[in-house]
Amino acid sequence: MKFVSLLITLITLALVPPAAFAETANSAPRLILQITVDQLRGDLPGRYADRYGEGGFRYLLEKGTHYSNAHHQHSNLETIVGHVVLATGAFPSAHGMVANVWMNRETGEVGYAIEDTAYDMVGLKGGVDKKSEIDPTQAAAKSGGRSPRAILTSTFSDELAVATAGRAKIFGVSVKDRGAVSLAGHAGKAFWFSKKTGEFASSTYYYEQYPGWVKEWNGKRLAGSYEGKSWELLQDRSKYVYRDTDDRPYETALPGYGRVFPHPFGKKDNKLFYTLLTLSPVGDELTLDFAKSLIENEQLGQDDVPDYLAISFSSTDYAGHIFGIASLESEDNMLRLDRTLADLFGYVDKKIGLKNILIVLSADHGAPEAPEYMASLGMDVGRLTPSTYDATPAVEALKKRFGIGKELIKMYKHPYVYLDHNVIREKGLDLAEVEGALAEELMKFDGIALAVSSSDLRSGRLPEAPMIQQIRRNFHPKRSGDIYLVQEPYWFLYSEESVPLCTIHGSPWRYDTYVPIIFAGAGVPAQRIDRLVHPVDIASTLSACVGAKPPSAAAGEPLLEVLKR
């Protein structure tokens, strides 16, 4: 009977236009607070729940609508890709952000997804902000300019601006520039943390000069106050699940930071000082403090027009990359993130009232455990560098077959192999034939599960297998490379410039696609939903909640349990 009742309810809800829910609700939320936790795999919020405090994850899990079975549907689970999926409700094949970096076929140069040379970083004309030693994807950037113009579709925040005739205040904040720019959309304003200055920065796409409150916040030099301090355990070591795994040889040991607690930040004159802050929970704490100042000074949620604030917390991603998900550092980071969320929710409750705020928390991607960790459990795994494949005997033989005496593989930029089209044209070869032959050969390599040519993706000849569908959703004809590589589970693929990170995501396997989706506040009922849902559903759900049309390429459906609020 319960099933029949639920089925009738769902059918009834499905027959009502989504906008009607916003129209019949007591009131639209004054603030939509979209929280993205970078690399928060779907099982992690509940893993340490017995040690959470009040008001953070506990509030979300006990008071909100928790979708426990949410998975991304595209194949390249990287930061910009997933963030733009959350922002647009569209797949990479439509929104265009197929990877953190890709090669421009017209220039032959590799570009960073959100770099825009038409703009500068505010106060840094023609310059380049410090390139992170831990974030090699930014190494492709040649200027400090950032903008959302490479995002090819509208975002939810753009549609909110349209629906409110530009009256909605729209902001994105993150340690990572791509975390802030993506969610702020084309109509909003974005701020991110500069690892050169320890300040929050923006670009001239948004501002010619910083508002007074931003100058005031930066003038506090809050990041500098961590000089001489360390990242230490929040609780007694005996309480931690991973208390005995604090020193493993495959973790990344940065100079002066080390692999074991405590992790010292060192002196401000150390070129890594501000970077090290972001590799700890301090990065999230700084993001929160800046977001509080933004809420106060921009007067978010203080009138009947719904405002929008996207906060992307990055420390979970950095801790996972450096130390691995199954590590003492990642565990402590989760406990500290819980406190950060509780602080944020307490602050907005005091300023605006949680009943007036619609909160949604999700993630851009999940992540695997380190290959060495899985090897200790008996799995056959390893680390791969496809940029070296051109010189292998198998590829050399293939080149000889085609009469190619030069490099055929121009580069590997995750997840794509790029071929040298000039060489292929010089020899009068058919690109599709070369792609297909090389893809077939690459699938014989250890650790490679699948190699799919772009020509095959264009042709429509491929079977409708689930993983092929994921790769097709990631394919954009003007931006994708020539061959998409998929590693076997828990094998890692590296681009040539990558530092030796402990953990790398970016595969179509379930550990990378698995993320939480939790809505809370604004009358959202307390419930756990175990049916399969997808992050592309979030943007359409938010649009329905405020009576806006869905983003231009939104592929998801509104989540009915949230709309029933």
Active site residues: 79
| Cis, peptide link before residue 415, omega less than 30° from 0 | yes
What is the C-alpha to C-alpha distance for residues 416 and 485, in angstroms, rounded to an integer? 6
At CA 430, angle to CA 426 and CA 431, rounded to 5? 90
What is the C-alpha to C-alpha distance for residues 181 and 118, in angstroms, rounded to an integer? 15
Give me 119's structure tokens: 């703009």
What is the C-alpha to C-alpha distance for residues 344 and 430, in angstroms, rounded to an integer? 57
Q: Which among 343, 329, 380, 481 is positioned nearest to 35, based on CA atoms?
A: 343
CB-based contact 139:167 (threshold 8 Å): no
CB-based contact 192:148 (threshold 8 Å): no
Give me 172's structure tokens: 């994105």
What is the C-alpha to C-alpha distance for residues 27 and 50, in angstroms, rounded to an integer? 35
What is the full DSSP assignment across 355-398?
A: GGEEEEEE-S---PPPHHHHHHTT----EE-GGGGGGSHHHHHH
Q: Which among 261, 243, 253, 252 is positioned nearest to 504, based on CA atoms?
A: 252
CB-based contact 93:475 (threshold 8 Å): yes
Amino acid found at 461? R
DSSP letter at 484?
A: E
CB-based contact 71:512 (threshold 8 Å): no
